[in-house]
Amino acid sequence: MSLISNNLQVVRADLIAAANAAGRLPEEISLMAVSKTFDEHAVLEAAASGQRIFGENYVQEAVDKIDRTRLLAPDLHLDWHFIGPIQSNKTKLIAENFAWVHSVDREKIAQRLSEQRPADAAPLNICIQVNISKEESKSGVMPEDCLSLAEFVVQLPHLALRGLMAVPRASDDVVEQRLAFRQLRQLQDQVQIALGNRARLDTLSMGMSGDMQAAIAEGSTMVRIGSNIFGKRTYATA
């Protein structure tokens, strides 16, 4: 068995164990494989083990990888999710190549993604990225500005607001990890109440390799796992 498929089995087992420990159904929690810095062969290996949702951070790297994956496996349907910082000159490529974007944190980006979504495509699924730990260097809208951005996103015709996403301050302390995730879940509940039937927020995108269990305990519906599936990232692209 390949290393990636072996890792995937371990991560899936961990996900199920974390769901059980939280009294939740494992089927409520989707597993995104974050393939940034790994190539199309790594993606195809994961896909051969049944993985279908892939996350990418760098637009050009991702678009090249999506094209090469389609060339090698034309009949394979994968769900590509964009999770990286977004520059406005890259929104067209994102709108054309992805099914989901988890990192929307300002109106201008949302507006452009809606305008540039191809007419024949389904609405682009959106999570608003929240700077839940209020770190100066981090992307994401501040929690107090989240509702106003959500109000803006729901009235855009080619976007479907699905929920919130966060990358909390890194911590080895499970109590601290859970506190940040709980704050995101509570914010999502508040936004849902304020939006009423204008949106159905069914996605809480939280939890990475180092804090998946805490995120699942606090209600995550989509965990984004990179290094525990593909191994340590040894290079970075920009």
Point out which residues bind ligand PLP (CB under 6 A).
34, 36, 57, 83, 167, 208-210, 224-228
Beta carbon nearer to ligand PLP, 91 or 103: 103
d(CA 197, CA 184): 20
**Which residue's Cβ lies closest to ligand PLP?**
226
Q: Could you tell me the smallest distance in angstroms from the CB atom of residue 151 to ligand PLP?
A: 24
Which residues fall within 8 angstroms of residue 137, CB to CB, at 6 or more apart? none
Element spanning 53, H or E: strand 53-56
Q: Could you tell me the smallest distance in angstroms from the CB atom of residue 71 to ligand PLP?
A: 25
60 class by beta-carbon count within 10 Å (0-12 exposed, 13-18 middle, 19+ buried) = exposed
Beta carbon nearer to ligand PLP, 7 or 57: 57
Q: Could you tell me the smallest distance in angstroms from the CB atom of residue 208 to ligand PLP?
A: 4
Q: Could you tell me the smallest distance in angstroms from the CB atom of residue 15 to ligand PLP?
A: 13
Q: Give the tokens for residue 34.
A: 């974050």
Q: Could you tell me the smallest distance in angstroms from the CB atom of residue 184 to ligand PLP?
A: 13
Q: Could you tell me the smallest distance in angstroms from the CB atom of residue 12 to ligand PLP?
A: 14
d(CA 232, CA 218): 26
Beta carbon nearer to ligand PLP, 190 or 209: 209
Q: Which residue has the tokens 């996900």?
A: 15
Beta carbon nearer to ligand PLP, 158 or 169: 169
Q: Give the tokens for residue 226.
A: 């990179």
Q: Are residues 130 and 143 in contact, defined by beta-carbon separation less than 8 angstroms?
A: yes
Element spanning 32, H or E: strand 30-34
Beta carbon nearer to ligand PLP, 26 or 210: 210
Beta carbon nearer to ligand PLP, 171 or 209: 209
End-to-end CA distance of the chain: 32
In the three-class reduction of DSSP (H, G, I as helix; E, B as strand; rest coil), residue 120 is classed as coil
Beta carbon nearer to ligand PLP, 66 or 86: 86
Q: Could you tell me the smallest distance in angstroms from the CB atom of residue 79 to ligand PLP?
A: 15
Q: Name the H helices within 28-58.
A: 40-48
